[in-house]
Amino acid sequence: MLSTPYKNATICLGLLVACTAPSFSDDSVKVTQKGKQFSEKQLSLKAGQSVLFVNDDNVAHNVYTIIKGKKQDLGLQKPNEENSIAFEQSGTYRVRCAIHPKMKMVVKVE
């Protein structure tokens, strides 16, 4: 019973993020995934800034972040797909691809 409304809420939230993305794009940083690497090895951001991950490869990628043991997963990103994530909490995030363990990035948020 509970799972369906929850799923719908998640989809709505996803659409909302997708639709409102251009309005805060000034503040967001673009990182591409190409050649099984992130285009940046390290980023410094202010809390609340977002990163737009764009898959510019011909293989699927995944992005997840870890801070203080807390994991946030953006899911699978097929070629040409993009996903944005807001870094709300200050600290050092490790950013990884679940498919390619060598893809690594560090995001420092203050």
Stretch that binds Cu ion, among 16-24, 40-48, 70-78, 91-99 (CB under 5 A): 91-99
Stretch that binds Cu ion, among 8-16, 44-52, 55-63, 84-92 (CB under 5 A): 55-63
DSSP 107: E
Our finding on whether 99 is near Cu ion (CB under 5 A) is yes
Our finding on whether 67 is near Cu ion (CB under 5 A) is no
Our finding on whether 61 is near Cu ion (CB under 5 A) is yes
Our finding on whether 104 is near Cu ion (CB under 5 A) is no
Within 8 A by CB and 6+ apart from 51, the residues are 28, 29, 30, 31, 43, 45, 84, 85, 87, 107
Q: Summarize as ranges the residues that interact with Cu ion (CB under 5 A).
A: 61, 97, 99-100, 103
